[in-house]
Amino acid sequence: MKTEHLILAAVMLSALFIRIPYVFQESVWNDETVYMWMGYRILENPLFVFSDHLATNSYGYTISIMTAVLSIVTSTFYASRIATMIAALAGIWFTYLLGKELTNEWGGLAAATLLSVNPFHAFFSVRSLTDVYLASAVSLFAYSATKFYKGGSGKLFGASFIITVLSKVAGILLIPVFFFIWGLRAIKDKSVDKESLSALVVAGGFILLLVLQNWLSFGSPLSFTPGRTSILLTGSIFTGDQSFYLNVVSSLYTLPLFLLSAVGIYFSFKDKKVLGTSLPFFVFFLWFSLIIGEKVPRYVLQTIPLVIVLAIYVVFRIVNELKLPPQSILIVLLLVPSMYAPLNDFVISKSDSYTGFIELGEVVSELDVTQNFSKIYAQSTRQIRAFSMIEYGPEEGKLYLVPKDLSEFENETNILVQLDIWEYTGPSWAYPLTQEKLNAILFQNFSILHIVEREIPTQDGPQNAPVGILLAKW
């Protein structure tokens, strides 16, 4: 085995060991549980993959299908986390291939190493969200676009575009990039060969199916985010100005890599094979900076491997210009300590929030079996649905969001109510939950059935405290 392959194996194993301790953390975000639930439903009935649910939840096809497959051997919670970690590791490998294609073997190894220790990439490698799936798919798309422009496979180019869209709805932004790269090859070759035709058929056929699905399901061929478009454009919770992502480049990419990548973008207009990497970066970074009002760092996670590879490409050109040994490109690894140092603290800092939901959901399911509640109200409906497998009412189940006013419970009986300290969108009578508010709830003839305690940070250090509660009214 070549030395480079041994180093790549070491990089992949290191990336695995960095991430695997965090896969089993209990902390689970609201959005994660949607994909866990969809994975469970696909396992229960594979035809669920054709329902509107996956399309309306960010085109979460890849994560949901992988979760369903792994749920055969473990719980849906762990299946979803493991699936995401596998997708992240695949993305590191795709980034290696892209770096190698644009530079050399050493450049590929440097790219994979830098991505493996990037704190944001490592953090979202163990969160059951679509962002790391998109990041991995975009790296594959950039690699296949580069190969295609140089005369490579059209089927791979078209298939990588499909995988990108099915990883997260933002993948549709690559439609113009796909056709631009396709056109560049046709101009370069002064013809449209068999591979170019196959790329067009694969991607074009998929786009037609996508438009048809949107038309049949949502009444509009361009309805890619039904019910969420206005919120995304204007922002609702995590808002910021158009310079938001520029202000966080140091933590997202490191400033040296970002500045080098800007030079790489300049060179890409001279060395057109690099456009398969620079154009996706341009499209995603500008779209989420200028168009989308909701500003969340994970929305541009897919640009991290692109920035890394563009930066390494510039170093590669410098090494060649100075006629240095090809291994000299590894000088970029001097950035590894500064990237790795905050990684553990960053991941750990998020691990003690949004806990207790697995226990809450399981207890809700157990209580409903014995008590057969007429309705179940939850402050965190997505989490309770995922871990109790009780569906939303009234069509499929009996799970409802807690009402905005406590007085709405006055005429209700045989109900169960779930509250927690985490869901900040809860009504004022429930969040933040204080002893005074709990007393007011109990005054409405509620009884406490179960309390979930977890260790959480306080001013006096980590302490056990209630994080969730179940109350019943008979």
**Number of CB atoms found within 10 A of residue 233's CB:** 12
Identify whether residues 304 and 364 lie together within a single domain: no
**pLDDT confidence bin for 231, thresholds 50/70/90:** low
- Give the contacts of 289 (CB within 8 A, at least 6 positions apart): 242, 243, 244, 245, 246
- By CB neighbour count within 10 A (0-12 exposed, 13-18 middle, 19+ buried), where does 397 fall? middle
Least confident among 143-157, 162-176, 326-340: 326-340
With pLDDT > 90 as the criterion, what percentage of the chain qualifies? Answer: 79
Identify whether residues 298 and 402 lie together within a single domain: no
- pLDDT tens-digit map of 274-332: 999 999 999 999 999 998 888 889 999 999 999 999 999 999 999 999 999 999 999 99
The dihedral over CA atoms of 439, 443, 448, 454, expressed in degrees to the nearest 10, equals -20
For the chain, the distance separating the N- and C-terminal CA atoms, rounded to the nearest angstrom, is 69
Domain end position, chosen among 313, 348, 383 = 348
Identify whether residues 408 and 314 lie together within a single domain: no
Identify whether residues 426 and 320 lie together within a single domain: no
- pLDDT tens-digit map of 117-138: 999 999 999 999 999 999 999 9
Identify whether residues 318 and 443 lie together within a single domain: no
pLDDT at 230 over 60: no
- Exposure pattern of 58-96 as b/e (b: 16+ CB <10 Å)? bbbbbbbbbbbebbeeeebbbbbbbbbbebbbbbbbbbb
Identify whether residues 127 and 42 lie together within a single domain: yes
Provide the residue range defining the domain that includes 362.
Answer: 357-473
Classify 238 as helix, strand or coil.
coil
pLDDT at 3 over 90: no
pLDDT at 31 over 70: yes
What pLDDT is stored for residue 2 in this prediction? 79
Identify whether residues 361 and 249 lie together within a single domain: no
Domain end position, chosen among 348, 372, 407 = 348
Number of structural domains found in the chain: 2
Give the whole-angstrom CA distance, residue 428 versus residue 441: 12
Q: Residue 381: which CATH number?
A: 3.40.190
Identify whether residues 291 and 367 lie together within a single domain: no
Identify whether residues 309 and 378 lie together within a single domain: no
What pLDDT is stored for residue 142 in this prediction? 98
Identify whether residues 290 and 438 lie together within a single domain: no
What pLDDT is stored for residue 125 in this prediction? 94
CA 402 to chain centre: 28
Helix, strand and coil in the chain, % to nearest 5: 65, 10, 25
Q: Closest Cα partner for 88 from 156, 137, 142, 40?
A: 137
Please, where are the H alpha helices in 322-356?
A: 336-340, 343-348
Please, where are the H alpha helices in 150-234?
A: 154-167, 175-189, 194-218, 229-234
Identify whether residues 325 and 367 lie together within a single domain: no
Domain end position, chosen among 314, 348, 382 = 348
What pLDDT is stored for residue 232 in this prediction? 55
Identify whether residues 95 and 220 lie together within a single domain: yes
Give the whole-angstrom CA distance, residue 468 versus residue 379: 10
- pLDDT tens-digit map of 159-187: 999 999 999 999 999 999 999 999 999 99
CA 145 to chain centre: 23
